[in-house]
Amino acid sequence: MSELQAGQTAPDFELPDQTGAPVRLSQFRGKAAVVLFFYPKDDTTGCTIEACAFRDEMPRFDAAGAKVMGVSSDSSQSHARFAGKHDLSFTLLADKGGRVRKMYGASGLMLGLIPGRVTFVIDRSGTIRHVFSSQTAFRKHIEEALRALAQD
């Protein structure tokens, strides 16, 4: 499947968060915009930079009425350790097997080994408003998401 684009409806899914509790994308429809960012792996250098940048900008995401959720194939337990170690205040979702990553077309493997780093901004109605993909511009994912939220 190719990567989803702005203007398309974001596919619904259910994944466990870092506590093991199920989270459905549709539970935010009509309530909050969602910034859904796919990242390769907990506690690696680039992913830690990205996650901490999202953490540091949470007041701006909160002010924009947006829920931030990170997705990787790591387990809920790994996510809990990662969130605790770096004081991450947003939801991390465990996509074991990469089903949701594939659904969103965010697989884009770098060097055939590292899963893609893609951020989707989804409005309150469930429509994708912005997509940003960059394996190495870690902080730019946050800038792009905030800019897209400001335009909505």
pLDDT per residue as tens digits for the range 41-94? 999 998 999 999 999 999 999 999 999 999 999 999 999 999 999 999 999 999
Whether residue 23 is contained in a domain is answered as no
Q: Is 47 a catalytic residue?
A: yes
Q: Would you say residue 110 has pLDDT above 70?
A: no
Whether residue 6 is contained in a domain is answered as no
- pLDDT, residue 105, reads 86
Whether residue 89 is contained in a domain is answered as yes
Whether residue 111 is contained in a domain is answered as yes
Q: Would you say residue 112 has pLDDT above 60?
A: no
Range of the domain at 84: 39-151
Which CATH number does the domain housing residue 69 bear?
3.40.30.10
Number of domains present in the structure of the chain? 1
Q: Would you say residue 139 has pLDDT above 90?
A: no
Q: What are the CA-CA distances from residue 115 to residues 27, 44, 64, 97 (Å)?
A: 27, 13, 29, 12
Whether residue 118 is contained in a domain is answered as yes
- pLDDT, residue 152, reads 67
Q: What are the CA-CA distances from residue 7 to residues 59, 71, 115, 129, 131 (Å)?
A: 27, 21, 24, 6, 10
- pLDDT, residue 132, reads 92
Whether residue 77 is contained in a domain is answered as yes
Whether residue 2 is contained in a domain is answered as no
- Active-site residue identified among 4, 15, 36, 47: 47
